[in-house]
Amino acid sequence: MEEVDVEPTTTPIPGFDSNKKHLGFVWGPGDILVYETIYKASVQSILSNSLSLCISSGGSAGGCPFVHEVRKDEDIYSPILRKLFNESHHIFVGLQRIRDDLPSKNKKPQFVSISKNYRSVIRACMEELQQVAGITLLSLELIWNLCEVLFIDAAPAGSLVLHLLDWVRLHKADVDEKAREVLASESPAEHQAYWDVVISYVLQGRMDEARQVLVKRATLQPAARAMFKLLDNLLMKMPIFNTQTLTEFDVKWRHWREEVDRCLQDQSFASNPHLEDICKILVGDEDVLLEHKELLSTWYHFLVTRLLFSHPTVKPTELHYYAQSSMHMFLDTRCVPEPLDSILLAAFEFDIHQVIKDCSIALNNWWFVGHLTDLLDHCKLLQSHNLHFGSNLREFLLLEYASGLFTHHSLWQLAVDYFDHCPEFGRVYLELQIERVPLDTERKALKVIRICEQRQMTEQVRSICKIMAKKALRNNRLGSALSWSIRAKDAAFATLISERFLQDYCAKGTFSDLDLIDNLGPAMLLSDRLTFLGKYREFHRLYGEKRFSDAAKLLLSLMTAKIAPRSFWMTLLTDALPLLEQKEVIFSADQTHELMFCLEELTSGKSVPNPDRPMQVLGYPLSNVCFPFNLLIHCFIICSNLYSCLARG
């Protein structure tokens, strides 16, 4: 049987005839928009990839009634897999904290422990997840566990078969279920599945359990008790590799094997076909093993059982030969290997790169290959697998996985840590992706900003603040808009919002968001208009506290220092009237002359007040009818003369 490479799954586009029309497409951050074009197809084209479809209908214009949204990471929208993503994120972050300068022998137990943690997370989600792209979550754990045995734990000859036995037992749990059913029956030894349980235990190397079940039958057949006792003795004597050397174990195993052979040659079990089959299994009779395909169920179980009874000290370098032959012997010659078979075979061949490649093709998300590659890279097993375009394999897969997470409304936060641990391109990806996070609420915007500030991503912080400022301004939330523009250090936008505050004041006679304006502090220096807004509000506060002298100085400085916009000068001059009318002298003669100069400059035609802007005197509307403009001029002249007289006196 020829090996077949894992190929991407062909995903048909519903209602699209590739013989008649070309497909057009537009790339998005996490999907592709696909549509029919008006061009005729000259050759058959097929969209061949492992993407999943999410169909949305559009208008039926130009004979193209649908636009298809093709998502490459549809799994991230599964609530079951969200648990997997969240739990594995914590394990990933913990793995990155292992110091590189520690000796390898000290790090190996930590890597094995982390691998087991990943497997426990997979197993926790296993019962809830339905089949994905032909490979179940159980199969993912099967692949991960095998990579743990062969690559991470790297069991040597002798221990290797025992580790593979544990691997098979963990993923062939139906034996225990069947055993419980048999033992719970009224007469276990007469149960129709009795011998299946015994032989299944033997096939998995679980000799103690097999002996316990055999006792049930022996008590019912006193005449055959000696025969059962002989088999029980053979099962009990089977050597298991532990702390001895390979040579010592090999000597013991050969002696035991010769004893089993003698029993077969003597036809000690000829009267009981079941016991004879078990004895033949103990000597590794491949024909008998293949007769029990249903109990083995998979070629890799057949492989491990075959190694246990024929080659218990197999070396890792020899494993690929037995794996290939076992798959060919077990599977029908007309059977095409499934993607799982190809992946496991590549693992037995110690071809890590092929394992990752086949998994990438067979699965429709990057979670598995990203985390597995990261762990293998920490074990220094991927040093020879650098890519020809920029980053290494680990970083490439993690970047793809994290980019997929960023398309999800909540999982994007997990992706930040993955980008952080991609030293070459992680920051660039994060800067691009963080700007695509929908800023639905201010709370979410603050969360994004905090992430950016922790990483000194100044430009992204400014961009987000500008977006939020514009949103707030569109909703007429001037205080929020000003706060965001100050945080963005956007002088132009702060000037625009300050102007809106002043317009509102002229229209309503009061300031909104007083707490914000009263506490601008150094932020008011961001723009001249914002400075004026803050100082003008301070003038109102001083006037309200009856600190008239300080208020007068501040009011005059706003005009003479050219901080106040010319369009607002008339409002400021009218604000000076109540101060001029006070019984005590507030403005000095020089200050009054400066007021007169500002008035002359305003009326000289150099600047025309806005006729649409209603005038206010300290917040109260001033009617041009009730207070003619020339009266204002007379008022200043009288006051000026008065101060001149006081000065001469």
pLDDT band at residue 583, thresholds of 50, 70 and 90?
confident
Q: What is the pLDDT of residue 588?
A: 76
Q: What is the pLDDT of residue 10?
A: 65
pLDDT higher than threshold 90 for residue 645: no
Rounded to an integer, the average pLDDT of 151-176 is 89
- The answer to whether 330 touches 301, Cβ cutoff 8 Å, is no
Comparing 587 with 474, which gets the higher pLDDT?
A: 474
Residue 554 lies in a domain: no
- The answer to whether 510 touches 619, Cβ cutoff 8 Å, is yes
Residue 309 lies in a domain: no
Residue 10 lies in a domain: no
225-237 vs 273-282: helix axis angle to the nearest 10?
20
Flag the least confident range among 19-28, 119-128, 375-384, 466-475. 19-28
Q: How does pLDDT run across 267-306, given as a tens digit for each residue?
A: 888 889 999 999 999 999 999 999 999 999 899 999 999 9
CA distance 525 to 548: 25
Comparing 463 with 543, which gets the higher pLDDT?
A: 463
Q: Which residue segment(s) compose the domain that 209 sits in?
A: 173-297
pLDDT band at residue 641, thresholds of 50, 70 and 90?
very low
Q: What is the pLDDT of residue 30?
A: 57
pLDDT band at residue 565, thresholds of 50, 70 and 90?
confident
pLDDT higher than threshold 60 for residue 115: yes
pLDDT band at residue 555, thresholds of 50, 70 and 90?
confident
Rounded to an integer, the average pLDDT of 188-204 is 92
CA distance 318 to 156: 12
What is the total count of domains within the chain?
Answer: 1
Q: How does pLDDT run across 171-180, given as a tens digit for each residue?
A: 887 899 999 9
Residue 621 lies in a domain: no
pLDDT band at residue 71, thresholds of 50, 70 and 90?
low
Residue 191 lies in a domain: yes
Residue 194 lies in a domain: yes
For the chain, the average pLDDT equals 80
pLDDT higher than threshold 50 for residue 648: no
Flag the least confident range among 137-141, 248-252, 397-401. 137-141
Rounded to an integer, the average pLDDT of 64-74 is 66
Q: Using a CB cutoff of 8 Å and minimum separation of 24, what contacts does 204-208 make?
A: 204/165, 204/168, 204/169, 204/172, 204/175, 204/305, 205/165, 205/305, 205/308, 206/169, 207/235, 207/236, 207/238
- The answer to whether 157 touches 125, Cβ cutoff 8 Å, is no
pLDDT band at residue 34, thresholds of 50, 70 and 90?
confident
pLDDT above 70 as % of the chain? 79
Residue 225 lies in a domain: yes
Residue 22 lies in a domain: no
CA distance 303 to 326: 5
Q: What is the pLDDT of residue 429?
A: 93
pLDDT higher than threshold 90 for residue 541: no
Rounded to an integer, the average pLDDT of 453-468 is 91
Q: How does pLDDT run across 197-230, given as a tens digit for each residue?
A: 999 999 999 999 999 999 888 878 777 888 989 9
Q: What is the pLDDT of residue 649?
A: 47
Q: Bridge partners of 66? A: 57
Host H or E run for residue 615 = strand 615-617
